[in-house]
Every structure is written in C-alpha cells, then in structure tokens.
Amino acid sequence: MAEPLRVILAGATGWAGSALARGIAAAADMRLVGAVGRSHAGRRLGDLLGEPRLDCPVHASAADALAAPADVFVEYTKPDSAKANILAALAAGCHVVVGTSGLTDADYAQIDAAARQHQRAVLACGNFAITAVLMMKFAETAARYLDHFEIVDYAHETKVDAPSGTARELSVRLGRVKPAKLDVPLGEVRGPREARGATLNGVQVHSVRAPGYMISVEAIFGGRGERLQIRHDSGESAEPYVGGALLAIRRVHTLAGVHRGLDTVMKG
Ligand SMILES: NC(=O)c1ccc[n+]([C@@H]2O[C@H](COP(=O)([O-])OP(=O)(O)OC[C@H]3O[C@@H](n4cnc5c(N)ncnc54)[C@H](OP(=O)(O)O)[C@@H]3O)[C@@H](O)[C@H]2O)c1
C-alpha cells in the first residue's frame, strides 16, 4: 500500500476544520502531520478534539507547521490569513486545498502564478458539499438557456466576507457560460448604483447579512412571464463538507495551477 498522504490543516480547531480533522483521522490513506490555530498553539490537536488518533501539534502559524514535510496543505482559516498561508505552502512544496472564502479573482491569479512556478496545484472550493456542487451545475445549465440571471447570497450577521465563497464561485461559473443580460445598463440606473449589487464575472451579486440566516445561495433566472430559482441551503453541521474536502485532498496532485470547484476532480 502507498504511504499515507501527509496533510497540514490550517484552521483545524475551527467549526469546519475540526470536522475535517476528524474525517482525516478516520481515513486510512492520509495522516495529519500538523495543525494551525493561534489560540491553542502548543497543544496536541487530539486532546482538543477528543480524538486520540490526531497526535499532531497545533502551531501558531502556517510557517511553523510547514517546517514538517507534507504533501497537501489545507487552508480553512479566515480571508485575512488565507493568501499568505497558501503562498507559504506552495513555496514549501505542498499542493493546496482551499476551503476558506473571501479570496478575490486577483488573489487567485497571483496564487496561480506561484503554483505554476513551484509546479504545484491549488484546488479552491467555495463549497465542498455535494448538494452545493449540484446547485452550481444546474445553474450553469440554466444559464445556457436563459439570458437574465443574478445571484443572491444569505449569511449570518457575523460573516466577514461578502460575497460568500459559494457565490463567488457561482459567478465564475455562470460568467464562463456568458455575462448576464442587463436591459438597463448599470451606468443608466437612476438611484444608487449599489442597489443593483456588485458585478462579479459579468453577473450581479447581492449579499444579505442578518441574524436568523445560515449560509444560502440562490441563482435566480428570469424569462418573459416565468422565473426559475435554484437555491442551496447549508444546515448547522459541518459534516456535509468533509467528504468533498477529503476527495479534494486525495486528487489535488492530479492538477496543475489553480482550479476552482470540487467537480474538477469528481467523476461524471
Ligand atoms: N468551502 C467550504 O465548503 C466551506 C465550508 C465551511 C466554511 N468555509 C469557510 O472556511 C473558513 C473557516 O470557517 P469556520 O466557520 O470554520 O471558521 P472558524 O470556526 O472561525 O475557524 C477558523 C479557524 O482558523 C483559525 N485561524 C483564524 N485566523 C487565523 C490566523 N490568522 N492564523 C492562524 N489560524 C487562524 C482559528 O483558530 P484561532 O482563531 O485560534 O487562530 C480556527 O481554527 C471561512 O472562510 C468559511 O467561510 C468553507
């Protein structure tokens, strides 16, 4: 049997990262060799998560964790630390899986250049859940047939980044099909231009942040006398993200440069 993949997980003590750490502990083909999280630096991850198979240390920074040799670095922290962590991991010779939201297309262009320079791959997934991947595929199909479409993303009041990672990824994918049609060009809108949302990849994106909302995203399509809404709702558990993230860790080495979306490595 091949040696297990050596994985470093940044954000391993967080909501999404701790669920993934447990998933890695249960996977026979990979091993967590390092974790990153500032508040618990110096502790063993397994003691914190109640999972004795996670015997790796928690480091205060990605640079400290990357002193250990690893194959794949998973970024699951926050938008303000993500890019530096990814660039450090590429420089250290790791392939990178990105779950953190909030990175811009310009960030990914810079990361792509670094990945190609180091001959490594980056797989960035705005949403690792299979239902979210399906929502994006269905929306892509709808965009082939309908000209008018916009994106609405909903999240709790403390989410710092807008639009969400899922909404950004959806805009990339819909924009690749075609830019959405605007019968009133943005420059001719009467009233504040912001009322029409942000333009990302040729698609208007609207972000709602308020208590009572979890993470949801809608692709809305309009035709004459008809409309279509394709919506994804996340629940309270981080469990739906684990399977997709494990698949990304296993398959990222088959790619080169930056790729967006889990279906890059899904069969069928
Ligand atoms: N792609 C997907 O499917 C998916 C799913 C869920 C969430 N997400 C995204 O993943 C990210 C994390 O979400 P979450 O809900 O898990 O957040 P969270 O619960 O706040 O966890 C963040 C983790 O990152 C660590 N961290 C934060 N800033 C850091 C820094 N500067 N240096 C080192 N470690 C740092 C935190 O530990 P310390 O604060 O102790 O440092 C903690 O371990 C967000 O961007 C979220 O939108 C994506």
Eight-class DSSP state of 162: S
State whether the beta carbon of 37 lies less than 6 angstroms from ligand 1. Answer: yes
State whether the beta carbon of 38 lies less than 6 angstroms from ligand 1. Answer: yes
Q: Find the 78 Cα to ligand 1 centroid distance in Å.
A: 5
Q: Find the 264 Cα to ligand 1 centroid distance in Å.
A: 23
Give the closest residue (by CA) to ligand 1 atom 30.
Answer: 81
In whole angstroms, what is the distance from residue 245 CA to residue 212 CA?
27
- The whole-chain average pLDDT of the chain stands at 96
pLDDT at residue 268 tops 70: no
What is the mean pLDDT of the segment spanning 135-164? Answer: 97
92: pLDDT confidence band, cut at 50, 70 and 90?
A: very high
267: pLDDT confidence band, cut at 50, 70 and 90?
A: confident
For a pLDDT cut of 70, what percent of the chain falls above it?
99
Q: Find the 148 Cα to ligand 1 centroid distance in Å.
A: 35
What's the whole-model pTM score?
A: 0.91
Give the closest residue (by CA) to ligand 1 atom 13.
Answer: 16
2: pLDDT confidence band, cut at 50, 70 and 90?
A: confident
Give the closest residue (by CA) to ligand 1 atom 9.
Answer: 100
**Each residue of 200-222: pLDDT tens digit?**
999 999 999 999 999 999 999 99
Q: Is the peptide bond before 163 cis (omega within 30 degrees of 0)?
A: yes
